[in-house]
Amino acid sequence: MNERHTLRNANLRSEYRSDRSDVVGEFYVPSLQAAQKYDRAVGYFSASTLAVLGRGLDDFIERGGVMRIVASPYLQAEDVADIEAGYALRSVLERAALRDLERAVGDPRAAKSLGKLGTLVAAGRLDIKLAYVASGNRVGMYHEKIGIFRDSRDLAAFKGSANETLSGLVGNFESIEVFRSWDDRDADRALRINMDFEDLWQDRTPILRVIPFTDAAKTILERCARETSGSIEMDTIPTDGAPISLVAHDALGMLTIPAELRVRDYQKQAVQEWFGKGGRGILRMATGTGKTLTALSAAAQVSKVLQKRGQPLLTVVIVPYQHLVDQWSKDIEWFGITSIRAYEKAESWYRRASNLQDALALKATAGGVIVTTNKTFGDSVFQSMVKRHTGQMLVIADEVHNLGAKHLRAQLPENATFRLGLSATPERWFDDEGTAALTDYFGDVVFEMGIGDAIKMGALCRYTYTPVIVNLDDEETELYVEVTEKIAKIFAVQQFTEEPDEDSPLGALFRKRSNILGHARAKLPALMREMEKRRDGWYQLLYCAEGRHPLSYENGAPDEPSQLDQALGLIGNQLHMPAARYVAETKRPDRQEVLQRFSNRDLQVIASMRCLDEGVDVPAARTAYLLASSSNPRQFIQRRGRVLRHAPGKTMADIVDFIVVPPEGAVGIQHETERRMVARELTRVTEFAHLAENEAETLDILRPLRTRYGLFDV
């Protein structure tokens, strides 16, 4: 026997107490590393028990270690009801224990340990039994806590208050006493605890019943062993400019690049540049170029580097909306991890997130991922959790420009070592202060992939662009002039360095003026003409203006249907094209159904307002009608990118944009006001036309407008 790996040489003390001991690191791990047999009888059967057992099991398994576990399953209300109703007691107990095992398979705290226990089961070196109190008509939980480590010569028995759970060993104040057979003061007590366990194992303990459980658990444990045993090595990320090899690696809690994923060269370069800046920076990548997969590849590389150092990684992904939490989680699952989805009520996610943090603190898992919304991220419950994290952390911010808002940028965790921002347009519109705050936190833009470059490289498909010019009517023109004059008066007496608050008088005026253009009445007849030309086409997106026409409020007619409702009515009743809405009020299951029907060609048209702007994956979309698109570059860039994603059979996209101008010779509107209105519209049009396949044709359509207003420099 190797004298270095014996219980006598494990430096075991007689007592371990929370105020002066690391119970796991100083007792459990060295004991497992020295023992050849381990017997444990402990409170109840739980996933976190298995997570703690996993520490130090590698050496134990390699030496041919043998383990016996006695535990009491946790009974839920329905289990107790079944027992009282006369169901077979053994079946109910097994069902309760199996339920916890199945839950643990998807738990990052326990899956790796389950796999190791499965290896022992398959080799015939682990037996599990269930214990319960049976006295008269009473059925209760067995709640003793004893254990015995043995090598070829000695044993170390222990008992005490600590359950082998993460909360018991990390969060609570606990103590255990250890009795060593080689110490004369402890020998009798050590042997007595050993005999107590043997009586328990052989079902010889009064008022207790002990039943076998190994066969019932075998299928689950062996399956988990197979799922956690594979490993493909991945090159460590260089920081000296050498090319990155994005190859798969599998380990518990680590994001793993799927073997079937083809990582593009520009995505590798983006990861390389980010690592070159110490794992901080912003990726400015066009919509549809794979920002999510690039970010997850970077996170997988970080996990690999830290895993070699024995440092677990918590990854926190922050996204604008709930449906993006679900979308990111789906991709994260492809990378080998079941993420924790943190949104809505804290009770739906907080316990699992806290347990993950405990597992990371114990190094019972190599990592974990929490995906949350901007709203939940800013809430006090999430903030308190993320701020108390003491280990390595990576923050990934999707559509990072949103986090530049005052109430969110102040909440960004300073304890995050690694920081990665993603956006096609990271600069905040009219908010230099917010933009500066983002670069101060995440770092500068370290990689850029614009739409033009993405099209040239084949990452996005080519497109045609059709601007459709429509006129404001006389009422709309009069209201537009009135609102513009009010804006001009405020600007004459105030100076603004950032975008006005939406709730301020100026913000309300900007919103009202934008709504006049977005709801221009002439757009709907023009839309019907354009859709008539594409009546037989599938995969069409329609972006409508939000709210209602401003004149409906001016004229006291708030019941006027929204632009979206009017458009859907015309599409269905006049063009007979199957269509559906995708708006903020659409529930998540219904949203998935709409997208699925769209992909399956059950729907020709999806009509939306803003819900399709950020992150929603609809690669099948081939045509986009922009009834409403502001001069904010973020919005029109995102909407253009939404239809440029590749899909089977798709080689070209078609964008139809409705450009609003005042009627020629309109009464009451000054030429400079007209010119500025048209200039704002042409800024977007010029950006769209520049990269379109039909740029020359588009410029011909716009030439009369440029001539009328002298806007050839726009």
Contacts of 122 (CB under 8 A, 6+ apart): 221, 222, 225
Domains of the chain (ranges, CATH numbers): 3-227 (3.30.870.10), 265-456 (3.40.50.300), 462-471+522-709 (3.40.50.300)
Edge to edge, what strands does the sheet with 540-543 contain?
Answer: 462-471, 652-661, 623-626, 540-543, 605-608, 579-582
Instruction: Give the C-alpha separation, 683 to 439, whole Å.
Output: 26
Closest CA to 707 of 661, 669, 667: 661
Res 364 pLDDT > 90: no
Res 225 pLDDT > 80: no
What is the tally of helices (H) and strands (E) in the chain? Answer: 27, 22
What's the per-residue H, E or C state across 571-588?
HHHCCCCCEEEECCCCCH
CB 97 within 8 A of CB 73: yes
Ranking 79-83, 333-337, 422-426, 654-658 by mean pLDDT, the lowest is: 79-83
Query: pTM to 2 decimals?
Result: 0.63
Q: Give the pLDDT mean for 582-605.
A: 89
Bigger pLDDT: 358 vs 303: 303
pLDDT reported for residue 121: 85
Res 47 pLDDT > 90: no
Residue with tokens 């429509």: 470
Three-class DSSP category at 481? helix
Count of positions (residues) in the chain: 714
Bigger pLDDT: 463 vs 699: 463
Residue with tokens 């070209």: 652
pLDDT reported for residue 439: 94
Judged on CB neighbours under 10 Å (0-12, 13-18, 19+), 462 is: middle
- pLDDT-based confidence at 133, cuts 50/70/90? confident
b/e map 285-307, b = 16+ CB within 10 Å: bbbbbbbbbbbbbbbbbbbbbbb
Q: Give the pLDDT mean for 351-378.
A: 86
Instruction: Give the C-alpha separation, 26 to 9, whole Å.
Output: 13
Edge to edge, what strands does the sheet with 280-285 contain?
Answer: 340-342, 367-373, 313-319, 392-398, 418-423, 280-285, 445-449
Closest CA to 420 of 390, 441, 405: 441
Instruction: Give the C-alpha separation, 372 to 328, whole Å.
Output: 10
Q: Give the pLDDT mean for 177-205.
A: 94
Show the tokens assigned to 435. Answer: 């933009």
Ranking 105-109, 129-133, 475-479, 626-630 by mean pLDDT, the lowest is: 105-109
Choose from 31-45, 82-96, 499-513, 536-550 the range with maximum mean pLDDT.
Answer: 536-550
pLDDT reported for residue 382: 94
Bigger pLDDT: 595 vs 352: 595
Instruction: Give the C-alpha separation, 668 to 665, whole Å.
Output: 9
Res 706 pLDDT > 90: no
- pLDDT-based confidence at 247, cuts 50/70/90? very low
Q: Are strands 175-180 and 392-398 parallel, antiparallel or unpaired?
A: unpaired
Ranking 351-360, 466-475, 685-694 by mean pLDDT, the lowest is: 351-360
Judged on CB neighbours under 10 Å (0-12, 13-18, 19+), 190 is: buried
Res 501 pLDDT > 50: yes
CB 618 within 8 A of CB 595: yes
What is the average pLDDT value for the chain, to the nearest integer?
Answer: 83
Beta bridge partners of 462: 652
Q: Give the pLDDT mean for 492-516.
A: 73
- pLDDT-based confidence at 602, cuts 50/70/90? very high
Angstrom distances, CA of residue 151 to CA of 3, 14, 39, 69, 585 = 11, 18, 12, 17, 64
Ranking 44-48, 322-326, 400-404, 459-463 by mean pLDDT, the lowest is: 44-48
Q: Give the pLDDT mean for 287-303.
A: 93
Closest CA to 245 of 237, 233, 253: 237
pLDDT reported for residue 235: 37
Res 555 pLDDT > 70: no
Instruction: Give the C-alpha separation, 90 to 125, whole Å.
Output: 24
Report which residue type is found at 508.
Answer: A
Q: Give the pLDDT mean for 457-462.
A: 92
CB 457 within 8 A of CB 289: no
CB 388 within 8 A of CB 365: no
Bigger pLDDT: 52 vs 21: 21
Bigger pLDDT: 555 vs 373: 373
Instruction: Give the C-alpha separation, 502 to 432, whole Å.
Output: 17
Angstrom distances, CA of residue 291 to CA of 96, 234, 339, 375, 489 = 43, 21, 18, 22, 43
- pLDDT-based confidence at 168, cuts 50/70/90? very low
Write the DSSP symbol of residue 171.
Answer: I
Choose from 103-117, 455-469, 493-507 the range with maximum mean pLDDT.
Answer: 455-469
pLDDT reported for residue 666: 59
Ranking 263-277, 289-303, 695-709 by mean pLDDT, the lowest is: 695-709
Ranking 204-218, 227-241, 377-391, 493-507 by mean pLDDT, the lowest is: 227-241
Instruction: Give the C-alpha separation, 336 to 28, whole Å.
Output: 29
pLDDT reported for residue 50: 54
* CA within 13 Å, CB half, 207: 10
Report which residue type is found at 554.
Answer: E
Name the percent of the chain lying above pLDDT 90.
Answer: 41
Choose from 241-245, 350-354, 370-374, 517-521 the range with maximum mean pLDDT.
Answer: 370-374
Name the percent of the chain lying above pLDDT 70.
Answer: 84
